[in-house]
Structure 1
Amino acid sequence: MDNEENERFSPIKSLLGLLSFSTIIPVNQYTSIEYMTRLVWCWPFIHLVIGILAAVCGIICADVLHLNSFFTAVLTYAFLMIITGYNHLDGVMDMADGVMVHGDPQKKISVMKDSSVGAGGVATLFIVASLTVAGIYNVLDYGCIAAIIICEMVAKSSLLTTALISKPLDGGIGCYFIYSTNMFNYILSTIIVGVIAYLVGDVIGIIGLVGAIVAGALIAFIAKRNFEIANGDVLGMSNEVGRLMALLFMSVALFFL
């Protein structure tokens, strides 16, 4: 019997596996993808910690190094991308390329899975990254450092929203995350995320979560219309757009509240 057959499910190993999968933190903890995704509903809580680290980075840039809000926003976004190993950026480009090409779902899927990147993918990544930096800059202008913590946590809620309402493409890693997301663990995860978001950012935190959920539903709709299915690239796009939409919703709310 191989290691996977002999392995027993361990919540700690699963959580550490998710941490290792989505960051460059040297956990050096192996667990099978099936066991790791059993606790996929806990993913936002892992990225709550990443969001806290990003907020610390922002505080150091602004209060210790005395950098302006724009420079702080760029460095904070760069920190998030580096610590997450640029994990979802290829998903943004691949899904965008698939959506941009004309043809039936099978042709679009083949383009999405192609290793080469087209102009649509590069342009979409630039737009998403630029708007995310602008969003961080905007919340920093309001002095809402908590928004950085919230946007990183709820980005995973966006991903889970897409996973919940999407049909998986069999054969890829993404299908394990989609199969492991059900209504019960999704609602449980969302409620806990909502409580944390409120404790961290009051009403602004809840509004950020709503923005992320809207993003997840939107990406799922676009994927269904173009591909009929979702895979890891679609989930990656949902994560990045979820972070962006959370920042957008919180930025608007900060103006009015």
Structure 2
Amino acid sequence: MEDDYFKDEKFSPFKSILGLVTFSTILPINVFTSIEYMTKMTWFWPIIHFFIGALAAGVAFICQDFLHFNPLLVAVITYAFLMLITGFNHIDGVMDMADGVMVHGDAKKKISVMKDSMVGAGGIMAAILIALITIAGICNVLDYRFINGIIICEMVAKTSLLTTALTSKPIDGIGSYFIRSTNIVNYAVSTIIVAVLCFLLGNIVGIFGLIGAMFAGAVVSLIAKKNFGVANGDVLGTSNEIGRAVALLFMIIMLFY
């Protein structure tokens, strides 16, 4: 059922993209559209985060080459920037999903815990570990002077999310709109565009970053199926954060070899 507030609205891809930017960042775009129309452009999300990643890479460049901070401090600031500009949009999903996975019981109980507003030790530790791995990964790609890795990991984090959306069964909630709007055709188009950008930014290293993100998205989807049977916004958010971290790990391995 469409939002009544937008019942007279006509679909505009450009407006829906700006709505997606408004939804997923703190950038002062302030363009609003119905959830149905906005999620029609879910496949375009990685391209939006190509530009978010470019902003983060700019922050890293200034900190590293002009302020001469050490790589660890640059990585922390860069990660903090990514979290801030996206309004910490997905990190709560990591905590919620981790709590649901860790609790003993059937799928119904696990979903109930995942949806609970309280955060347990499992959720807190999951968020900390993913943050630490991501920061260490950014630090490592900076050691290789591969600043484009920051752009790539942020862009393919959304490909990880799309991979989970494509392979998951939705449950009621905002996340269901993103899952239902993702199909094999728009997923393929999105992934091909991202693959081209990854290759231009990092050659085979960039492609491996994309492969890592897709692998992460598939794994998160399997974990969600095993524990919940379905996926929601928390699962998608978790896929985004894990996808970013795993993409960095895959690129670091290729940079070494």
Matched with 1:185 is 186
Q: Which residue of 1 aligns with 2:214?
A: 213
Aligned to 2:135: 133
> Which secondary structure does the structure 1 equivalent of 2:40 belong to?
helix
Looking at structure 1, the residues matched to 41 and 30 of structure 2 have their Cα atoms a distance apart, in angstroms, of: 18
TM-score (norm 1): 0.98
Q: Any stretches of 5+ residues in structure 1 without a counterpart? A: none
Alignment-derived partner of residue 159 in structure 1: 161
Query: CA offsets, 1:185-243, max 9 Å, x none?
Result: 00110011000110111111100000000000000000000000000000000000000
Q: Find the counterpart in structure 2 of residue 94 from structure 1.
A: 96
One-letter code aligned to 2:185: F
Give the letter aligned to residue 247 of structure 2: A
- 1:91-133 C-alpha deviation (Å, 9 max, x unpaired): 0000000000000000000000000000000000000000000
Residues 129-151 of structure 1, C-alpha deviations (whole Å, 9 max, x = no match): 00000000000000000000000
1:118 aligned partner, one-letter code: G
Determine the C-alpha separation between the residues in 2 that align with 1:71 and 1:225: 38
**Separation in 1, partners of 2:252, 2:234:** 27
Amino acid at match of 1:194: A
The runs of 5 or more residues in structure 2 that have no matched partner are none
What corresponds to 2:204 in structure 1?
Answer: 203
AA at the equivalent of 1:177: F
Tell me which residue corresponds to 2:230. Answer: 229
Q: Give the percent of matched residue pairs that are identical in Structure 1 and Structure 2.
A: 64
Secondary structure, aligned partner of 1:31: coil
Structure 1 runs of 4+ with >2 Å offset: none
Question: 3-state SS of the aligned residue for 1:81?
Answer: helix
What TM-score do the two structures reach when normalised by structure 2? 0.98
Matched residue of 2:197: which SS?
helix
Given candidates 73, 76, 80, the residue that maps to 2:78 is 76
Match of 1:246 in 2: 247
Distance across 1 between alignment mates of 2:58 and 2:243 = 21
Aligned pairs, number: 255
| Inter-partner Cα distance in structure 2 for 1:140 and 1:196 | 19
Instruction: Name the CA distance, whole Å, in 1 between partners of 2:137 and 2:225.
Output: 28
Distance (Å, rounded) in 1 between the aligned partners of 2:237 and 2:118: 17
Amino acid at match of 2:216: A
1:3 Cα offset (Å): 3.1
Which residue type is aligned with residue 36 of structure 2?
Answer: E
Q: Structure 1 residue 2: deviation in Å?
A: 4.0
